[in-house]
Amino acid sequence: MTVAPQILRLSLTDFRSWTSATLQASRRLVVLTGPNGAGKTNILEAISFLGPGRGLRRATLDAVAREDGPGTWAVAAEVEGAQGLATLGTGLATPAGADGPHARKCRIDREPVGAATAFAEHLRLVWLVPTMDGLFLGPASERRRFLDRLVLAVHPDHATRVSALERSLRARNRLLENPSPDPHWLDAAEHETAELAVAVAAARAETVQRLAATLLERGAGPFPSAGLILDGWMEQAALTRPAIEVEDRYRTVLRENRGRDAAAGRTLDGPHLTDLLVTFAPKGIAARDLIAVTDIAGRRVEIARPVKRIVLGEGRQLITLSLVHPDPVSLLAGWPGDLARQDKVTYGRYLEKFPAIAGVPIVGRGSEETFSIEQALATGPDLAILSGGYGPSLRSKETLDRFAAAGVPVVFVDLIAKPLDNIVPSLRLLGRVLGREDAAERVVQFHESRAGRIRDRLAAATPVAPTVLMHAHAGLAECCNAPGRATIGAFIDPAGGTNIAVDVLKTPFGPISLEYVMGRDPDVYVGTGGQHLAGTGGLVLGPGVDAAESRAKLQGIVRSPGLADIAAVRSGRVHGLWHLFGNFPLNVLALEALAKWFHPKLFGDVDPDASLKIANETLLAVPMHGTYWVSLDGGGR
């Protein structure tokens, strides 16, 4: 039987709260006791640095140096293990004869070694800390990180391979950023990626197989017995097929999906996406099945997964679901009929792809007053997703009480009150609820990379913000209905503009007089519209709409008395925007269009059309084809 290594002596210097400390251990099981703030966790963290990585708190190397200390630190341990006695040491040191930054040093028996991975010959570490309580409820990336540390106990060089695989994937992604990448370079990159990927997958698969066998041998005990499995095709193949065969299969996958991966900006297949699944073995219940989430309203909600029957409070939430689930209609127990009424083209496209949508029970018409709690409960839901924008809200006490009494959990999302603030937490909430965290994170990355670019450039350049008239439902009535800071009006400030309506409106939407508009003489005009304005003379935008039709409608609207005389129209800064972006998960497309209109030089390289193309190819279950933004000068489509 292999004897586990033992730390006989531990020394700390200038580490966290410790100026210096030495601990002797005479037993294999050691318990640290003391009041809060005594430095117990700091000692455990010091031990965790006797392995690769950033320790159990995932701190940077300089962050663990003692405050008011020299900026350096050291941890040393005398270890007795299979290799006999050894002294391991690591720390942050000042380079000899240099004024440069501190660097981490590692030594075994006072002799330098290249990295902390070398310590694994003498000491291999695994830890469980309170922050890991949600390990099997959170994103797959956290479980992969935990698994890779377990693998180190079997394969000391595993961390090196994981790092090399990450570098290789990044190199491939950079090559794919080129519109016409050199196929020979890609072949070479994918050859290396496949070798590393299969090595990583095989090491994980072997470790999990050994752990699963050990758990099975031990059988029943005081703790619940667990089952382990890796949710990745490569790991399964690595257990039964020759490595070279699996490598060739992965190279084929990479080569055939270059276009898809280029559009997504990342490699969408491989062991970097594998998940570790844990079950309560006697009943086959997944460890992640009961989760606790905090919704957008700040309510803590417990949900049993997998969620299979969802009632929606608003029909347009289906589009948000489609971003995180490949078949959102399969999850619907009931929904309102507002999508079919407000956006017939989009509904028709979903009906074409998901014919089962026609049979989903209707539980309302998209408003709080028409939502039927009796019909909703009759569908047998296991979750209700509400928004408060259209349909039941936090004020709907009877509805919420009835759901609670029936044991149906309710979560609130928000894409309308604070659309830019709440889109990311709403997406992550849905990803967590549906067990589709990775899919949700892809949409978050799409949003954050684009919104962040606009935010950072505006902060750096501090351009003068143009005054903006956002004319809501343009052409439907006399000028002008306008949004305030909510819904679609919430995009104006983050795009670098000044909404002239907020100085006079006290509500999310409301009328402002033509005289007020002419007095403010805005620099930019943005009319909003949609298919709901077809046949009214208003601005028509959205799915299935031709850009020439939208441009002609927009031209007629701004020729009306009063509007024709404002600065925006005189200078040609006249644009149209799909009104439903104010309650839409890919609202960053509207942000890009507005930023480009408000500051054309600063955002000359921003291309919402290109972003829409990427979304259609990589994110949306049903692509958006039509006209969602338009300009009189032809610069917007």
Q: Which residues contact 71 (CB under 8 A, 6 or more apart)?
A: 62, 65, 92, 94, 102
Q: Please, which residues have CB within 8 angstroms of residue 35's CB and are 6 or more apart in sequence? A: none
Query: Which of helix, strand or coil describes residue 424?
Result: helix
Beta strands in 330-433 (DSSP E): 332-334, 383-386, 410-412
The two beta strands, 73-81 and 6-15, are antiparallel
| Identity at 181, one-letter amino acid code | P
SS in 3 state form for 472-533?
A: CCCCCCCCCEEECCCHHHHHCCCCCCEEHHHHCCCCCEEECCHHHHHHHCCCEEEEEECHHH
Q: Of 351, 355, 320, 314, nearest to 335 (Cα)?
A: 314
Report the alpha-carbon distance of residue 444 to residue 426 in Å, rounded. 10
Sign of the torsion angle spanned by Cα atoms 127, 131, 133, 135: negative
Distance of alpha carbon 86 from alpha carbon 84, whole angstroms? 7
Q: Is 77 annotated as a binding residue?
A: no
Name the residue type at position 19. Answer: T
Question: Which one-letter amino acid corresponds to residue 293?
Answer: V
Cα gap 485→480, rounded to integer Å:
16
The answer to whether the annotation marks 37 as part of a ligand binding site is: yes
The rounded radius of gyration (Å) of the Cα atoms in the chain is 29
- Read off the DSSP letter of residue 100: S
Distance CA 511, CA 532 (A): 19
Contact criterion met (CB below 8 Å) for 86 and 79? yes
For CA atoms 142, 143, 146, 149, give the dihedral sign: negative
C-alpha of 226 from chain center: 29
Q: Which long-range contacts (CB under 8 A, 24 or more apart) does 101-109 make?
A: 102/61, 102/62, 102/71, 102/72, 104/61
What separation, in Å, do the N-terminal and C-terminal C-alpha atoms of the chain show? 71
Cα-based distances in Å from 86 to 23, 110, 309: 16, 10, 58
| 627 annotated as belonging to a binding site for a ligand | no
* Contact present, 450 and 591 (Cβ < 8 Å): yes
Is 41 assigned a ligand-binding role in the annotation? Answer: yes
- Residue 149's nearest CA partner among 132, 134, 133, 137 is 132
Which amino acid, residue 558? V
Residue 91 has φ and ψ, to the nearest 5°, of: 170, 180
34 marked as binding residue: yes
Q: In whole angstroms, what is the distance from residue 426 CA to residue 413 CA?
A: 5
380 is in an annotated binding site: no
Hey, how many other C-beta atoms are within 10 angstroms of the C-beta on 572? 12
**Rounded CA separation 23/170 (Å):** 43
Residue ranges of the annotated binding site for ATP are: 34-41
Give the residue ranges of the annotated binding site. 34-41
